[in-house]
């Protein structure tokens, strides 16, 4: 696994909320526009990401290079719920390091980790496959969208972590 020079992983802090939200918003648009129902778009404005970050902060690990946030990963029980890397930091090992940290966090309590990836997000699907994750099933993922989730066609990927 390659690592970005100077990459530091650490638990997310309240002063990271804005940087995480901005990165998540941009990354979500890169990986999901055209691959999720249009009904979800109105729930994926920058303001929505600002609201979604605080409840996840305690299970979020961030990656920094030169004191700048370049990625983050969020774990929810045995699910690697979110993995995002800033566009300029892609391909240099940031995602590898964040995913390994998430796998380690899941392994503290579970044997197998899982994640959902939108069917059309081929870049992410290739990354997970290269990282040892197995595509095991179709999954209708209930994406957060106000009071009524929006169903997104995904693939469920799993990896034995202990």
Strands (E), the chain: 8-11, 60-65, 68-76, 79-85, 112-118, 134-143, 150-160
Superfamily of structural domain 8-160: Gcn5-related N-acetyltransferase (GNAT) (3.40.630.30)
pLDDT at position 4 over 80 = no
Secondary structure of 88-106 in HEC code, one letter for each residue = HHCCCCHHHHHHHHHHHHH
Q: Phi/psi of residue 60, each to 5°?
A: -110, 135
pTM of the model: 0.94
Question: What would you measure as the largest C-alpha separation in the chain, in angstroms?
Answer: 42
In the chain, where the domains are located: 8-160
Question: Could you report the per-residue pLDDT of 14-62, keeping only the tens digit for each?
Answer: 999 999 999 999 999 999 999 999 999 999 999 999 999 999 999 999 9
């Amino acid at each position: 696994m390659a690592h970005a020079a100077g990459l530091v992983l650490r638990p997310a802090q309240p002063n990271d909320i804005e940087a995480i939200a901005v990165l998540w918003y941009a990354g979500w648009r890169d990986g999901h526009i055209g691959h999720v129902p249009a009904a979800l778009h109105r729930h994926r404005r920058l303001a929505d990401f600002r609201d979604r970050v605080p409840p996840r902060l305690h299970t979020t690990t961030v990656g920094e290079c030169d004191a700048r946030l370049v990625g983050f990963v969020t774990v929810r029980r045995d699910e690697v719920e979110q993995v995002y890397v800033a566009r300029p930091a892609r391909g240099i090992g940031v995602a590898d390091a964040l995913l390994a940290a998430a796998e380690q966090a899941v392994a503290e309590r579970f044997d197998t980790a899982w994640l959902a990836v939108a069917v059309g997000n081929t870049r992410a699907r290739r990354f997970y496959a290269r990282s040892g994750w197995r595509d095991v099933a179709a999954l209708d993922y209930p994406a957060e969208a106000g009071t009524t989730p929006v169903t997104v066609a995904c693939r469920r990927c799993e990896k034995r972590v202990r």
